Structure 1
Amino acid sequence: MNFQTAVKTCLTEKYATFSGRASRSEYWWFVLAYVIGAVIISLLGIGLLSIVYTLALIVPAAAAGSRRLQDTGRKGWLIFIPVGLGVISMILMPSVPVIEDDQMMQLPDMGSMGLMALLTFVQLFVGLVFLWWLTRPSKPE
């Protein structure tokens, strides 16, 4: 499957299809298109556009990941583990310090920084496991 066919398949034909299988080429070409789009939108510097882009593509990205996991012989719902960890991290992320006119900078407390460090290591481990799973060859059964 080539780049254009993979993107067309994931965005139109199988936008929210969580059943079935996705070949390595379909999944990874779609991931490449997603990353290229995200980089272009981030270079534009429009925060609202970035949010809209992410919300528009979260369903087809999760569906393609689910189908890819099923193609490797794993349960498709497992794709929501890294997604859930990302959402938890965004919710628990400490606020960014802001310096205002001659006031002292207020840094996040050590407890929240420790929690973020722990979540970061968990996400890294889970991400590497999923990277391994998503790159495995298709299972014939």
Structure 2
Amino acid sequence: MTFQDSIRTVVMQKYMDFSGRAPRSEFWWWVLAYVIGAIIVSFVPVLPVIYALALFLPTLAVGWRRMQDIGKPGWYFLIPSIYNLIVRLIGPRTEMPMDPETGMPMQMPGFGALAFGGLLGIVGLIIAVVFLFWLVRPGQPETNEYGPPPVR
């Protein structure tokens, strides 16, 4: 699958299709297209949010199908996003009140907060490595519970 084929498949043909399987080429060409687009729109205020919202479902769908191509449940693709949301909600805060006279933090975070933040970072790194390993693997060559192998 070529770069253009991937964009056409993800956006035009399978925008919200969570069934079946997606080959590595479809997924990684889409990731490249998404990143290039994100860089381009990043220079205009508000446009990155609109871009991310518009492409959320097709990105989720192609990731979902990619997981199914390697024999994993598609919902596994949600794990990094859910973890990121949890970290943002319960993770240690980095903003600290600043002393207006010195410009220095008025209070440094305690060791517990630093250790917790470090632990969250390590868990996030492990999740990222596992998912990278899964997403670069070849799909299962035979028909699996999610359907026949995609045309590569």
| TM-score class normalised by the smaller sequence | 0.7 to 0.9
Structure 1 range deviating more: 2-11 or 52-61? 52-61
Q: TM-score, normalised by structure 1?
A: 0.85
Q: Which residue in the other structure is 1:8 paired with?
A: 8
Query: Could you tell me how far apart the structure 2 residues matched to 1:34 and 1:19 are?
Result: 21
Q: Indicate the percent of aligned positions where both proteins have the same amino acid.
A: 41
Q: Which residue in the other structure is 2:63 paired with?
A: 65
Q: Which of 1 and 2 has higher RCO (CA within 8 Å, sep 6+)?
A: 2
Is this contact kept in 1: 2:16–2:61, CA < 8 A? yes
Query: Could you tell me how far apart the structure 2 residues matched to 1:45 and 1:107 are?
Result: 36
Q: TM-score, normalised by structure 2?
A: 0.79
**Residue 88 (str. 1) matches residue 89 (str. 2):** no
Where does 1:1-141 land on structure 2 (aligned, <5 Å)? 1-42=1-42, 44=43, 46=45, 48-93=46-91, 94-97=93-96, 99=98, 101-102=100-101, 104-106=104-106, 109-110=109-110, 111-139=112-140, 140-141=142-143
Query: Higher helix fraction: Structure 1 or Structure 2?
Result: 1
Change (3 A) 1:108 1:91: farther
Q: Which residue in the other structure is 2:150 paired with?
A: none
Matched residues, number: 139
RMSD after superposition: 2.1
Is this contact kept in 1: 2:7–2:33, CA < 8 A? yes
Query: Could you tell me how far apart the structure 1 residues matched to 2:107 and 2:39 are?
Result: 29
Give the unaligned 5+ runs of structure 1.
Answer: none
Change (3 A) 1:38 1:98: farther
